[in-house]
Chains A and B, each alone.
Chain A
Amino acid sequence: MELKSRRHTVADLASAIELCYTNGWTDGMPVVPPTEERIRAMLDAAGLDPEHQLAFIENRQISVTAEKVAINAVMAGCKAEYMPVVAAAVEALGDPLYGYHGPATSTGGSAVFMLVNGPIARKLDINCGDNLFGPGWRANATIGRAIRLVMRNVIGTLPGELDRSSLGHAGKYTYCIAENEAESPWPPFHTTRGFRAGQNAVTIFAALAPHQYSNQLSATPEGILTTACAYMKISAGSARQPQYALVFAGEHMETMRKAGWTREQVQNYCFEHARSPVAELKRLYMMAGDVAPEDERTMFPVVREPGDFLVIAAGGSAGVQSAFIPGWGGKEGSQSVSREIRIP
């Protein structure tokens, strides 16, 4: 099937890279020139026809086709076998529960956090360990980058135009991880979304930057979560009640395992302890209104319900660091959504 995108002929590889800069098609770093052979390899790897619509972005009235996604995945540096993951994530972007327009456009400056579960994560070598949010893995670096390039080039999410982030953060270059299913104390995350462990799935979440905390003084889940909740109580999501991702790395993961704590226990503990008096939120100008006497006794949790904590096992095996990630805005504006990754 013919590719319909406009074609540009340039003298050589260097000119192609430069043309992409000139036309404003990059995130600031060089891109791989999208040639027909590379684009077709992407489409073939996902079993997609070029005109297949992966998402429709209602507010922008934009149809995101497989052809455009494949072009941007090539530019991001993806291997062809990454394309099913990219395609599933783009499908998730079009889910009304994700609410593309809000988090993509808002001054709040969120990025698309992506969690990959299932056998494909190991097959594609998507990092779930050391330097989790840092550089060094092609799959993590380029799958997330492909999503950002799709947002930029296909959906028009350009900084200063339809991306009005005041600050943004480094996750807007790429924010893709896998879960460490082999060493996790819990069933794989995607099983909480109705998938079987053997299925492949990607979960996207409109997310601010990861906030790291350390706890080397406690060897109990309660002790570790006490630290986590102390940070979360006054964080970007306080008084807004978005979802929060909780990422537990190696030694903390092991503490949870030894104590036999389930994912639900972690969620319930955090729901009970990551909360502040309404009065304090008002005094800190995080909640509107004058302080009323009952506000001193009324506690306000950072999320609406325990299930709004997305509990994930990932990160290096050494060290006593874990992280929480506040979601963008409030849950009514955007929720994490999961999609199956389909491999032909």
Chain B
Amino acid sequence: MPIQIFDPTTETTARRIAYAARPESLAGRRIGLVDNTKHNSDQLLLRIAAILERDHGAKAHVIRRKKSAGSAPHAEIIEEYKANVDVVIAGVGD
């Protein structure tokens, strides 16, 4: 006898996500670096910032450390970066 079963998965719903406009150049831009707390992630980010400043004219950088690799940056970092930086570099390093 035929039986009917129900789908246990989440049905995806489409939603438009607004991305921030990408700068055409990094010249004169201030860089915000998000340290994800993993060992040496700060070293990697600082090297990236140095390259961006040396080769692409970025003006300055700041680096802030999240509380945990598994969570989003806390509010203080987001507020500071919204106010004081033009470009943010974040990634999952391990």
- Closest chain B residue to A17, Cβ basis: B5
Which chain B residues border A101 with CB–CB below 8 Å? 70-71
Which chain A residues border B10 with CB–CB below 8 Å? 62, 68, 153-156
State which residues 167-181 of A face B: CB under 8 Å.
Answer: none
Q: How far is the CA of A279 from the CA of B16 in the complex (A)?
A: 52
Query: Contact partner of A154 among B5, B9, B71, B94, CB < 8 A?
Result: B9
Q: How far is the CA of A16 from the CA of B94 in the complex (A)?
A: 41
Query: Contact partner of B70 among A25, A33, A72, A329, CB < 8 A?
Result: A329
Report yes or no: B71 in contact with A99, Cβ–Cβ below 8 A.
Answer: yes
The size bracket of the interface on B is 20 to 34
Report yes or no: B71 in contact with A34, Cβ–Cβ below 8 A.
Answer: no
Which chain B residues border A6 with CB–CB below 8 Å? 6-7, 11
Report yes or no: B1 in contact with A12, Cβ–Cβ below 8 A.
Answer: yes
Looking at chain B's contact residues, the main secondary structure is: loop
State which residues 62-105 of A face B: CB under 8 Å.
Answer: 62, 68, 71-72, 75, 99, 101-103, 105
Which chain B residues border A105 with CB–CB below 8 Å? 70
Q: Which has the most chain A C-beta neighbours within 10 Å: B2, B10, B15?
A: B10
- Closest chain B residue to A32, Cβ basis: B5
Report yes or no: A333 in contact with B68, Cβ–Cβ below 8 A.
Answer: yes
State which residues 1-60 of A face B: CB under 8 Å.
Answer: 3, 5-13, 16, 19-20, 23, 25, 33-36, 39, 58-59
Quote the shortest CB–CB distance from A65 to chain B (angstroms): 9
The reply on A107 being an interface residue by CB < 8 A is yes
User: How many A-B contacts at CB < 8 Å in the complex?
Assistant: 96
Q: How far is the CA of A3 from the CA of B8 in the complex (A)?
A: 12
Total contacting residues, chain A, CB less than 8 A: 46
Quote the shortest CB–CB distance from A115 to chain B (angstroms): 22
Report yes or no: A7 in contact with B70, Cβ–Cβ below 8 A.
Answer: no
Q: How far is the CA of A268 from the CA of B57 in the complex (A)?
A: 55
Which chain B residues border A99 with CB–CB below 8 Å? 68, 70-71
Given contacts A332-B68, A333-B68, contact A5 B11 (CB under 8 A): yes
Query: Contact partner of A7 among B5, B9, B15, B72, CB < 8 A?
Result: B5
Report yes or no: B7 in contact with A8, Cβ–Cβ below 8 A.
Answer: yes
Given contacts A153-B9, A333-B70, contact A107 B2 (CB under 8 A): no
Report yes or no: A12 in contact with B68, Cβ–Cβ below 8 A.
Answer: no
B residues adjacent to A (C-beta < 8 A): 1-11, 15, 39, 67-72, 94
- A-B complex: 10 closest residue pairs judged by Cβ atoms: A102-B70, A333-B68, A6-B7, A153-B8, A5-B6, A71-B8, A333-B70, A33-B5, A5-B7, A153-B9
11 example contacts (A-B, Cβ-Cβ < 8 A) are as follows A5-B7, A7-B4, A8-B7, A10-B5, A12-B1, A35-B5, A99-B71, A105-B70, A153-B8, A155-B10, A333-B70
